[in-house]
Structure 1
Amino acid sequence: MSKRRHRDSIRALLAKIPILTYHKIENRREVGINALPPEHFQAQLACLQELGYTTITFHDLLDSPELPEKAVILTFDDGYASVYEHALPLMQPYGFRGVVYAVGRFIGRWNDWDANLGGIRFRHMDRRQLRELADAGWEVGAHSLTHRALSWLDETSLHREIFGSRDLLADVAGRMPTSFAYPFGMHHLRVREMVKAAGFAFACGGINSAAEAVDPLQLRRVPVYQFEGLSAYRKKLRIAGLPRLEYLKLRILSWPAVLTPLYQKRFRRELFLEMEGMPGVYSNNSND
């Protein structure tokens, strides 16, 4: 394996690499804007190829001896099964790979952590599917154990969510995860320090993350929504010059995400208590 890049070199690279956020790639509709039809996704992949982009992962940033001149990172939050069913086969002909952020305790389960308006539920990838992605060159990153707002948790629960998801995903993918995605894009200094202590080199927020895009522990990502055309998609790739109106639009569209943690506290408390008692790789007796 090649020598890992210096931190300053990585910061310089990150300043030039757009990071996009997807969730579901499927035709099923939801009361929301995060389910992207496969045909729209394929058009975006063709657009990336036409513009000369090559996908990379955060693993590549650390270890690959050479990186493409025009790199882009495609991230998929929550680890939905539709990413395995649709995104993977659509990306393979282009030689593209992605970064999938799995919710540890919901692997292979329905997304009952979410509000699921209209009673529409979506299934998360199981261990076999995640391992196949890892074997295909994808990065399997951590997205906590239960997808709660980490900045609202006490120290013990925060440690469990971050270190526990790290250990569980390492067991699933066969490799220690390099990057972490904050649920709902919510984080503060205490959360970032815990993520760093767990050994993550990178951590992703959302469009509202610090404008200092070169901070590896609070990377800004640009979300992709189902109703947007290719003109809007091309704007998302302009990391150094995202138009102000586009930025404001994306911030407005992202704000409803903060309502889900409130829903969880009111209606999902028993589910998360059950999750905290589940056996797994992680133990409270960890030496970390």
Structure 2
Amino acid sequence: MSTGTGDSATPRTGPGPEGPVPILMYHALAHRPAPSVRALSVSPEAFAEQMALLGDRGFTPLTTAALAAVWRGRGRLPERPVLITFDDGYEGVHRYALPVLARHGFAATLFVSTGWLRGPYDGGGAPDTMLDWDQVRQLAAAGVEIGGHSHTHPQLDQLDDRRLGHEAARCREIVAAELGAAPVSFAYPYGYSTRRVRRAVRAAGFDQSLAVGNALARRGQGPYALERVTVRRSTEIGEFARLVDGRSVGRLFAGDRALTKAYAVVRGARRAGLVLGARGPSGN
């Protein structure tokens, strides 16, 4: 089983470790996804076509833990590194993605929201059909790194310190109990993080974390703020090719990045209001 701690995950050949590296962010794989996740879903056929392109162009997918190990000075990157990541824990990752990954011999990372998965910790509220823990174990046994994605999938930067710590720690605790090894990688729900959130994730025991950013990942971003690019239902194969080749990423996601910056201001103001309300008008 893989939670990303094995030495075999660390590549030992290839060019220097500076990057940049495309980290692909997927969510649901489905023919008929729920309306709320459709825009961020990908059809099984499109996913298969995208993985075939990676294989044809000589890309070597790594786990999140393997990339982080290289950027901490252990090993070297392969010639054309890429990361394939899945957020939340949708059932289609097992049904559709796993056979394709196995066929190509590709590594990947799955970030699970433990309170959304079917089973004893299911708190309700999942937006579509999710994995159960037997399926997660099968994915881990096949070499997919299993990482954390919080317990209930909240906006972590809007939580108080106690709830923030609980979301990260509870997620890690459940994955460790179900898989027999604690996860080492984390992905922020909605991609939102602040310095306080990153500290809490580190304190919970995670060694590295992924944001969104819709930019290529670079070593200089630091292990707790590695950026990813979003793969959507609307992502055509030509656009996908440009993403993994690192061409026009800024232009392709210019609108997304502008919205992200604007919403960061809104979230910061909202959080400030929550803190002020909790302390009372005197600020105590």
For the superposition of Structure 1 and Structure 2, which TM-score range results when normalised by the shorter chain? 0.7 to 0.9
1:196 alignment partner in structure 2: 202
2:20 alignment partner in structure 1: 16
Pair 39,253 (structure 1): closer, same or farther in 2 beyond 3 Å: farther
Cα deviation code 1:197-218 (max 9, x no counterpart): 1221211111268986632101
Q: SS of the residue aligned with 2:98?
A: helix
Aligned equivalents of 1:204 and 1:92: distance in 2? 24
Q: SS of the residue aligned with 2:20?
A: coil
1:94 alignment partner in structure 2: 104
Aligned equivalents of 1:158 and 1:80: distance in 2? 23
Pair 157,243 (structure 1): closer, same or farther in 2 beyond 3 Å: closer
Aligned equivalents of 2:143 and 2:217: distance in 1? 30
2:43 alignment partner in structure 1: 37
1:49 corresponds to which of 47, 55, 63: 55
2:237 alignment partner in structure 1: 230
Pair 53,214 (structure 1): closer, same or farther in 2 beyond 3 Å: same
The one-letter code matched in structure 2 to 1:102 is V
2:225 alignment partner in structure 1: 218
1:184 corresponds to which of 183, 187, 190: 190
2:13 alignment partner in structure 1: none
Q: SS of the residue aligned with 2:82?
A: strand
Cα deviation, residue 256, structure 1: 12
The one-letter code matched in structure 1 to 2:231 is V
The two structures, once aligned, show a CA RMSD in angstroms of 3.1
Q: SS of the residue aligned with 1:221?
A: strand
Q: SS of the residue aligned with 1:220?
A: strand
Cα deviation code 1:30-64 (max 9, x no counterpart): 43311211111000001001110111102323388
Aligned equivalents of 2:160 and 2:215: distance in 1? 22
Q: TM-score, normalised by structure 1?
A: 0.76
2:64 alignment partner in structure 1: 58
Q: SS of the residue aligned with 1:199?
A: coil
Aligned equivalents of 1:74 and 1:4: distance in 2? 14
Cα deviation, residue 16, structure 1: 2.7
Contact 1:54-1:72 at 8 Å conserved across structures: yes
Contact 1:210-1:218 at 8 Å conserved across structures: no
Cα deviation, residue 112, structure 1: 4.8
Deviates more, 1:137-146 or 1:170-179: 170-179
Q: SS of the residue aligned with 1:73?
A: strand
Aligned equivalents of 1:139 and 1:79: distance in 2? 12
Pair 253,28 (structure 1): closer, same or farther in 2 beyond 3 Å: farther
Deviates more, 1:198-207 or 1:39-48: 198-207
1:206 alignment partner in structure 2: 212
Cα deviation, residue 106, structure 1: 1.7
The one-letter code matched in structure 1 to 2:228 is R
**Gapped regions of structure 1 (runs ≥ 5):** 6-11, 115-120, 262-288
Aligned equivalents of 2:62 and 2:217: distance in 1? 22
1:85 corresponds to which of 74, 84, 95: 95
Q: TM-score, normalised by structure 2?
A: 0.77
1:113 corresponds to which of 125, 129, 151: 125
Pair 224,58 (structure 1): closer, same or farther in 2 beyond 3 Å: same
Pair 111,4 (structure 1): closer, same or farther in 2 beyond 3 Å: closer
* Equivalenced residues, count: 246
1:265 alignment partner in structure 2: none
2:114 alignment partner in structure 1: 104
1:269 alignment partner in structure 2: none
Cα deviation code 1:144-179 (max 9, x no counterpart): 000001111111111110111111112222222111
